[in-house]
Amino acid sequence: MFAQRRTIVAPSPPRPLDKVARRVQEISSLPTVAIRVMEVTRDSNASTEELKAVLESDASLSARMLRLVNSSTYGLRERVGNLQTAIAYLGFRQIRNLALTSSISEVFKKDERIGTYSRPALWRHLVSVGVCSRMLAMRRGLENFEDVFLAGLLHDVGIILEDQYDHANFRSMVSSLGGDVCLEEAERGELGYTHMELGGVVAEQWRFPELVTGAIRHHHHAVVPADEHQQAIRCIQVANTVCTLKNISSVGLNLLKPPVDATVGLHLLKPDIEALVVDLDEELQRQSMLFTL
């Protein structure tokens, strides 16, 4: 009798997406305090003291937070001298958004320019989309407009992850941009994955809220999944387009397809869009401190 031969199947090589996501997991670029802030503010039983303790664990962040709260952006009548008072004035969600904005901005401090792309310009895009998304959510009557701001702020986090953790391929991809090739097509060709896919995987690793993860995954999709976050993500799609058309784009080029489904789904007419475009300039000026945290 001959021994039966076993067929040895070689393991499949890891996908480029998996390799980069693993690298992000090993060397996280998101400050620990930012992740902890999200966890505390997501807990309905969390107290002001718990949130204050997390913020105070980063002295630099606490100082920037108080400077921002006391800026003309919020127009408070009395100067706020401590985080507990700031939380009482603004509430958990606004404080969370300010903390995340201030904390994440540190990732963009080191400038990197590749053709039309730069990290400061990407940061301006993220903040602008967050602000514009919140404006639109409020105008459409969405109650979770502060959550929409956070989702808009983080929608393109996959791009900065590509820049940081797959830099050589990212440089090649950005250098190839132009013409009729959209960003996702260029990413698949050079990287083997898109910023939406990478951002979505990492958002799950970092336990982002469902709305934020959904916005990261679907902000370029022609049709957004019909779930509880559909209208919020549509707001982010429209805001992304409005900001890009105002030359506040993620990679310095307009590579977006018009979000027809989102525009129709939000019942937006031409005068609505025109009013949003005009009012956005004033709101971005009012929120200007967010760009220079």
pLDDT in tens, 158-184: 999 999 999 999 999 999 888 778 899
Q: What number of CA atoms fall less than 13 Å from residue 91's CA on the CB side?
A: 7
Q: Using an 8 Å Cβ cutoff, are 33 and 54 in contact?
A: yes
d(C-alpha 162, C-alpha 20), whole Å: 8
d(C-alpha 149, C-alpha 135), whole Å: 9
Instruction: Give the per-residue pLDDT at 197.
Output: 96
Q: What domains can you pick out in the chain, each with its CATH number?
A: 28-105 (no CATH), 110-293 (1.10.3210.10)
Mean pLDDT over all residues of the chain?
Answer: 89
Q: Using an 8 Å Cβ cutoff, are 37 and 100 in contact?
A: yes
Instruction: Give the per-residue pLDDT at 11.
Output: 52
Least Cα distance to 109 among 60, 145, 143 occurs for 60
Q: What is the pLDDT of residues 72-101, one digit of tens each?
A: 777 777 888 899 988 888 889 988 998 888
Query: Under DSSP, is residue 181 helix (H, G, I), strand (E, B) or coil?
Result: strand
Q: What count of other Cβ atoms lies within 10 Å of the Cβ of residue 163?
A: 21
Q: Using an 8 Å Cβ cutoff, are 248 and 125 in contact?
A: yes
d(C-alpha 56, C-alpha 249), whole Å: 34
Q: What number of CA atoms fall less than 13 Å from residue 152's CA on the CB side?
A: 32
Query: Under DSSP, is residue 210 helix (H, G, I), strand (E, B) or coil?
Result: helix
Strand residue runs (E) in the chain: 113-114, 117-118
Q: What count of other Cβ atoms lies within 10 Å of the Cβ of residue 240?
A: 27
* Terminal Cα-to-Cα distance of the chain (whole angstroms): 76
pLDDT band for 44, please (50, 70, 90 cuts).
confident
d(C-alpha 95, C-alpha 62), whole Å: 11
pLDDT average, residue stretch 122-137: 96
pTM (2 d.p.): 0.88
Query: Which contacts of 39-46 are long-range, i.e. CB under 8 A and separated by 24 or more positions?
Result: 39/207, 41/92, 41/93, 41/95, 41/96, 42/209, 46/92
pLDDT average, residue stretch 205-220: 93
Structural tokens at position 249: 């784009």
Instruction: Give the per-residue pLDDT at 105.
Output: 85
Whose tokens are 């990287």? That residue is: 191
Q: What is the pLDDT of residues 244-258, one digit of tens each?
A: 999 999 999 888 888
Instruction: Give the per-residue pLDDT at 5.
Output: 55
Residue 68 has pLDDT above 70, yes or no: yes
Residue 2 has pLDDT above 60, yes or no: no
Q: Which amino acid is at 237?
A: Q
Residue 152 has pLDDT above 50, yes or no: yes
pLDDT average, residue stretch 226-236: 96
Instruction: Give the per-residue pLDDT at 132.
Output: 98
d(C-alpha 72, C-alpha 49), whole Å: 26
